[in-house]
Amino acid sequence: MKHLNGSNRPLRPVVVVTGASSGIGRGVARALAARGADVVLAARTERTLTAVARECERRGGRALVVPTDVGDEAAVQALVRRAVERFGRVDAWVNAAAVWSYGLFEDTPGPVFRQIVDTTLFGQVHAARAVLPQFRSQGRGVLVNVGSLYGRLSSPYVAPYATAKWGLLGFSEVLRQELRDAPGIAVCTVLPGAVDTPIYRHAANYTGHRIRPLPPVTSPERVVAAVVRAVDRPRREIVVGRTQRVGVWVDRLAPGLYDRLVGPVVNTFAVQGALVPPHDGTVFVPDPLPGTVDDGWRRHDHRLVGGALTATAGLAALAIVVRALGRRR
Hey, which residues are catalytic here?
Answer: 161
Give CA–CA dist 133/137, Å, rounded: 6
CB-based contact 143:173 (threshold 8 Å) = no
Q: Where are the beta strands (DSSP E) in the chain?
A: 3-4, 10-11, 14-18, 38-42, 62-65, 92-95, 101-102, 141-146, 185-192, 204-205, 209-211, 237-240, 271-275
Q: How far apart are CA 78 and CA 152, in angstroms?
A: 32
Residue 95 φ/ψ, nearest 5 degrees: -90, 100
Distance CA 99, CA 116 (A): 6
Strand partners, 143: 93, 187
Bond into 213 cis (ω within 30): no
The Cβ of residue 34 has, within 10 Å, a number of other Cβ atoms equal to 15
Strand partners, 275: 209
Neighbours of 305 (CB within 10 A): 15
The CA-CA-CA angle for residues 311, 317, 322, to 5°, reads 120
- Exposed, middle or buried: residue 254 (CB in 10 Å: 0-12, 13-18, 19+)? buried
Measured on CA atoms in the order 96, 99, 102, 105, is the torsion positive or negative? negative
| Contact call for residues 95 and 15 (beta carbons, < 8 A) | no
Cis peptide before 216 (omega within 30 of 0): yes
